[in-house]
């Protein structure tokens, strides 16, 4: 389960901290970018008001209760980049890792660095097993990140109303490759 105080992480280039209402405008603006939302909203883009309500509710409620959500920014400048987290995959009982970043951060290793740190926390501190991910079949960039952090492609599965690429990594497999 998520601890009461969300831990903060610093990597070589990034700072990951608990998200807050101060981040709401950035998160909504990022979500409304057509390039960012291309694979996230295949059934139609929400309005700014709908996205604001959903994001505000999640931040205020401490969502998710299992896993965690981190706002990601450059460690040196504090400039915001997006978020990375672990949260329930619908009603499956599984925890998925996910991320969303502004287009200016794409191709710079941000998603890989943030997801690597979040995955470490999920397996080492939270003892999650397994950690999974889903992504749109057309989202090669996200699939590449998931492969880099060690998740294995397991074919297509139906989630979020779509057939999506499903990835998984067991705790034992992670610890075999990433020993203490």
Of 148, 147, 139, residue with least CA distance to 167: 147
Report d(CA 54, CA 36) in Å as an integer. 17
Helix (H, G, I), strand (E, B) or coil at 125: coil
Report residue 34: phi and psi, to 5°: -60, -35
Q: How confident is the model at residue 2 (pLDDT cuts 50, 70, 90)?
A: very low
* Distance, CA of 167 to CA of 151 (rounded, Å): 6
pLDDT for position 26: 98
pLDDT digits (tens, 9 = 90+) for 9-54: 999 999 999 999 999 999 999 999 999 999 988 777 899 999 999 9
Lookup result for tokens 């950690």: 131
129-178, pLDDT tens digit by residue? 999 999 999 999 999 999 999 999 999 999 998 999 999 999 999 999 87
**Which helix (H) or strand (E) segment is 177 a member of?**
helix 171-177
Find tokens 């400048």 and name the residue. 77
Domain 9-177 superfamily per CATH: Gcn5-related N-acetyltransferase (GNAT) (3.40.630.30)
169 half-sphere exposure, CB direction, 13 A CA radius: 26
Domain boundaries, the chain: 9-177
For residues 71 and 84, is the Cβ–Cβ distance under 8 A? Answer: no
- Give the Cα separation of 52 and 47 in Å (integer): 9
- Tell me which of 82 and 62 has the higher pLDDT: 82
Q: What pTM did the predictor assign?
A: 0.93
Least confident of 2-11, 93-102, 160-169: 2-11
């Amino acid at each position: 389960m998520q601890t009461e105080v969300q831990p903060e992480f610093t990597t070589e280039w990034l700072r990951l901290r608990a998200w807050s209402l101060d981040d709401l405008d950035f998160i909504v603006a990022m979500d409304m970018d057509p390039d960012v939302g291309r694979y996230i909203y295949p059934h139609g883009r929400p309005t700014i008001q709908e996205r604001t309500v959903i994001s505000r509710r999640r931040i205020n409620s401490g969502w998710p209760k299992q896993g965690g959500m981190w706002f990601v920014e450059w460690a040196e400048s504090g400039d915001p980049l997006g978020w990375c987290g672990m949260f329930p995959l619908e009603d499956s009982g599984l925890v998925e890792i996910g991320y969303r970043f502004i287009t200016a951060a794409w191709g710079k290793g941000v998603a890989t660095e943030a997801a690597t740190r979040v995955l470490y926390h999920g397996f080492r501190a939270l003892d999650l097993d397994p950690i999974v991910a889903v992504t749109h079949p057309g989202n090669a960039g996200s699939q590449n990140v998931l492969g880099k952090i060690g998740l294995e492609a397991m074919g297509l599965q139906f989630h979020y109303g779509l057939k999506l690429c499903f990835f998984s990594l067991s705790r034992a497999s992670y610890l075999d490759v990433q020993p203490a």
